[in-house]
A and B are shown apart, each in its own frame.
Chain A
Amino acid sequence: MNIEPSAEHLAFVQGLKSRKRMVSLLRGSILIGFFLLWEAAARFGWIDAFIFSSPSRAVSSLWRMILEGSLWNHLGTTLLETLIGFILGTLIGLVAAILLWFFPTAERVLDPYLVILNSLPKIALGPVIIVWVGSGMSSIITVTLLISVVSTTMGMLTGFREVDGEKLTLMQSLGASRLQTLTMCVFPASTLSLISVLKINVGMVWVGVIVGEFLVSRAGLGYLIVYGGQVFRMDLVMGSVLILCLLAALMYYMVAGLESLLKRRLAE
């Protein structure tokens, strides 16, 4: 099957490549252009650099924190909270979904509660959580669980329910127990739901952690933002927001990598 590609095909592939290059180029220049414009605006006095900060001021304030060694503590705290929230939220939501799948009557009974809980702005419960759980990392993690568990359960249950009924009949005809049906058929068939749940959770937990830190904490990027705002150190605020953007991008690519890995395993 080694046919020499035609000139037309080569031209087509060439076209694809150059279009891709152009997209990357434009993407990059938007980013660079934004920072250049911001910097210029601050330098030439188009905006008040004390209020709006500037890329160079934000970076140098971060640099000072790195030299002092205090940035790592904040960064580490936020990352740790995010990681714990993500893992716990996903696991608890998953276990709940599996239990509900095992007990369809419970699922029927609880369904409206799940739907309503899912559409509630749970972040609004933040202040209550502080009162109940106390101020500290545990209440930040509680906030992340509050906003990730129910959506995980709902997402996975929807996936479980969508598995072809005849596949279940096949498992039944082979004499499979409900647990075997879950592990050998229903769960692997719901891989796509798992991926989308993980994707949503990364974003949710992130929001939960930052809001939690706004409310209670004495460390973390969310804390830096609030603190910087209170003492009017906008350089610190903008620097922290820059790090948040970087981390968000990093997480996005990690999840996308995981997604393509799982999809490739499915497609093999």
Chain B
Amino acid sequence: MAAPVVSFDKVYLRYHSAAEETLALENLSFRVNPGEFLVILGPSGCGKSTILSLIAGLISTSEGIIRINGTEQAGTVRPEIGYMFQHDHLFPWASLRENLLLGLKVRGDLSPHKQSRVNDMLSQYGLLEFADRSPRALSGGMRQRAALIRTLATEPDILLLDEPFSALDYQTRILVSEDIASIIKQEGKTAIMVTHDISEALSLADRILVLSPRPARVSLELPVDIPGKGVILRRASPKFSEYFNLIWKELDSGEH
């Protein structure tokens, strides 16, 4: 088996405030393989965003070790990781193109090569005509695609997706998740997505980790093998509902 891109080894995380201590992650271990689309599924408040913040180096573990491409994540932001949030946070005061170049600008790397790469993605993903306009001109689905391009612009190998579709309406969510999944596959990235939506997890994942309520532990690990390429075909497959029921039972038993 290939070396994991990300590994968690007995990770604990506690949040501290004056009033109390919150144990968000308890003895959490898992690995992410190169090129896979891993979905971490768990009830709300169980610690999903915490996991992504740890990988991104925005916070540090209380105990345990996280490795990224073999080296320990010691709480620093790494160039090989891209983070995408629930809300697109496109800046209304800048043009779409300026928004997409944000990460490169931060790194002082606005080389013509990188810029033309962003331009290619703009045209490939149908946003070129909006490049010099404000992101206000974009629909919700387009905005989320733009946010993905902003994340891809710095050419990360690992994408962290924090419920990236939950702010969209149902139909857009399905269409955009289809788009985004295919973009990610096409670009050959490793993706780690967190969500509390079982259907969304099943329609995108190569593998699913089901988490217990807080403190998060892996309560079920499930490789997903559903025939049919793409979100819509997957959702139509009878195997989809088999998996769905399995996960539903697991989450339900965690509740009680």
Contact = CB atoms under 8 A, between A and B. Distances in A.
A184 B87 contact: no
A164 B92 CA distance: 13
Contacts of B81: 173
B248 interface: no
Interface string A162-176: 001011011111111
A174 B58 contact: no
B89 A166 contact: yes
Interface size range of chain A in the complex: 20 to 34
A11 interface: no
Interface stretch (A87-95, A106-114, A185-193): A185-193
A175 B102 contact: no
Interface string B118-153: 000000000000000110100000000000000000
Interface stretch (B103-111, B184-192, B205-213): B103-111
A267 B134 CA distance: 8
Contacts of A166: 85-87, 89
Interface centre among B87, B93, B103, B134 (most CB of A within 10 A): B93
Given A173-B83, A176-B106, 13 more contacts: A166-B87, A170-B85, A172-B77, A173-B56, A173-B81, A174-B107, A174-B154, A175-B77, A184-B102, A184-B106, A191-B93, A267-B136, A268-B133
16 contacts: A166-B85, A166-B86, A166-B87, A167-B89, A169-B83, A170-B83, A170-B85, A173-B81, A174-B102, A174-B107, A184-B105, A188-B94, A189-B91, A266-B93, A267-B92, A267-B136
Interface of B: 56, 58, 77, 79, 81, 83, 85-87, 89, 91-94, 102-103, 105-107, 133-134, 136, 154
